[in-house]
Amino acid sequence: MDCGIAREALSAAMDGEAVPGLAMTDVDRHVQGCGPCARWRDRAARINRLAALSPAGEERDLAEEVLGKVTLPAGEPSPVSAAALSHHMEPAHRPAIPFILVRIGLVLAAVAQAAVAIVELLGQDDPMKTMSGHMDHETSAFNFAIGVVLAFVAADPRRARAQLPLLGSVFGVLVLVSTFDLGAHAVGWSRLVTHIPLAVGLILVALLGTNPGRGTTGTATDLRTRRFPMRTAKRLGVLGSIVVGGLLAVTGSAYAHVTAQPSTATQGSYTKIAFRVPNEEDKASTVKLEVTFPTDHPIASVEVKDVPGWTAQIDKSTLAKPLQSDDGPITEAVSKITWSGGSLGPDHFAEFEVSMGPLPTDTDKLVFKAVQTYDNGDVVRWIDTSAPGGAEPEHPAPTVQLTAKNADTAAAVTPAAATSSTSDSSLPLVFGIAGIVIGLAAGGLAVAALRRGRAAE
């Protein structure tokens, strides 16, 4: 095969075209046996790749210059200027926004995100003493890294599309866990506000990374006007509405219930119950909690755990029918516990733990009616009960469901507990090793990709 024909076929193949009457298998065999054609193919492939990946330079508009030198016969209308022509051809339904405003907004979001991380780092009293302190450091470092990513995109908008998977996945996971945490009263809105810079940054990066209009090419310092991607904006608006609506629905249905945790226990056993108390007031603090114990199903032994800043008062009442125990009859039982002296502010919750037992065997549930008092005088009575299968009342009383105790369950308690303990203790080690292996593999792949890219250039 002639080298000229082979090179023409190679050039057509690189452009996605085919040469009629010529099979590429014949061309490949020729190239394998012809050194000059093989080197020509490699050079052409490299030039083709550089042409596709190199940033486009500043375009020079020659329309005005060409139209200015056109000489028309007498009586002919003058040519329309390129500026006027482009103005009439520009779609009127697509508004434009200055490109620099999007980048300035992205810089502000980056600064705010970095400020969140700095405040977290400087606001810890002694974070090095506990594992939670190190986890707080990891969170702060990640928040700072997100701020750097946003600043990087603001400096070089061509990189916006590449950052969308990272920012989108982080924001999606945050929305998911925040929904569950709000429903469990494990986080307040004051903490969720710190995620606003990430949400704003994601929107701005999406606007830069999904903009199909004029101005998407050129250098990173190009200050021309970009078309506002209305389709992307509408999708982001719909997504934001769904997220906000879901958060409000979850928090509205599960917000501010005083509950007993865990909500189930075994009849005749000893257990620890934590009365979880969230603060539902925006401008008031909880200063007292009263929990009434059922006197129709008395509990012989009740002990409270100290809560820093709070004082527990235990009231007892005489039983109409004494309880029998190994130490003799018990004539008194706890009827109410009152915690006071402390303060539980907005967007916070507290748990008041009580050890109790043996639990009654003549009922399938225990109802602990609670009264929550605020420093502004408001009182919320968590005393309502519902019928089986009925709707939950507005202020349900904390309830513990009791299950029957059997021999099989009792015999299986010790092995199950041991297995659970062993599993729980080994899980962090397993996940830690897996994380190290995955991290090393990702680092190796990144270095290999970087070297391959430099070699190809």
In a domain, 441, yes or no: no
| Domain shared by 114 and 246, yes or no | yes
Pairing of strands 399-403, 379-382: unpaired
In a domain, 42, yes or no: yes
Q: Are 286 and 185 in contact (CB under 8 A)?
A: no
Specify the number of domains making up the chain.
3
Kindly state the average pLDDT of the residues 212-231: 43
pLDDT value of residue 329:
87
> What band does 126 get if pLDDT is binned at 50, 70 and 90?
very low
| Domain shared by 208 and 340, yes or no | no
In a domain, 21, yes or no: yes
| Domain shared by 330 and 346, yes or no | yes
Mean pLDDT of the chain: 73
| Domain shared by 338 and 351, yes or no | yes
| Domain shared by 237 and 264, yes or no | no
Q: Are 309 and 355 in contact (CB under 8 A)?
A: no
| Domain shared by 127 and 16, yes or no | no
Q: Domain range holding 12? A: 3-53
| Domain shared by 331 and 263, yes or no | yes
In a domain, 403, yes or no: yes
In a domain, 30, yes or no: yes
In a domain, 8, yes or no: yes
- Largest Cα–Cα separation, the chain: 126
Give tens-digit pLDDT for 304-349: 999 999 999 999 998 888 888 777 888 899 999 999 999 999 888 8
In a domain, 121, yes or no: yes
| Domain shared by 104 and 226, yes or no | yes
> What band does 428 get if pLDDT is binned at 50, 70 and 90?
very low
pLDDT value of residue 105:
80
In a domain, 78, yes or no: no
Give tens-digit pLDDT for 273-283: 999 999 888 88
| Domain shared by 281 and 341, yes or no | yes
- Range with the largest mean pLDDT of 151-155, 339-343, 424-428, 432-436: 339-343
pLDDT value of residue 196:
85
Kindly state the average pLDDT of the residues 111-134: 61
Kindly state the average pLDDT of the residues 360-375: 93
pLDDT value of residue 109:
82
| Domain shared by 131 and 181, yes or no | yes
| Domain shared by 247 and 107, yes or no | yes
Give tens-digit pLDDT for 160-217: 888 888 888 888 888 877 777 666 555 666 677 778 888 888 888 887 776 544 443 3
Here the CATH number for the domain that contains residue 404 is 2.60.40.2230
Domain boundary among 254, 283, 306: 254
| Domain shared by 123 and 41, yes or no | no
pTM for the whole thing? 0.41
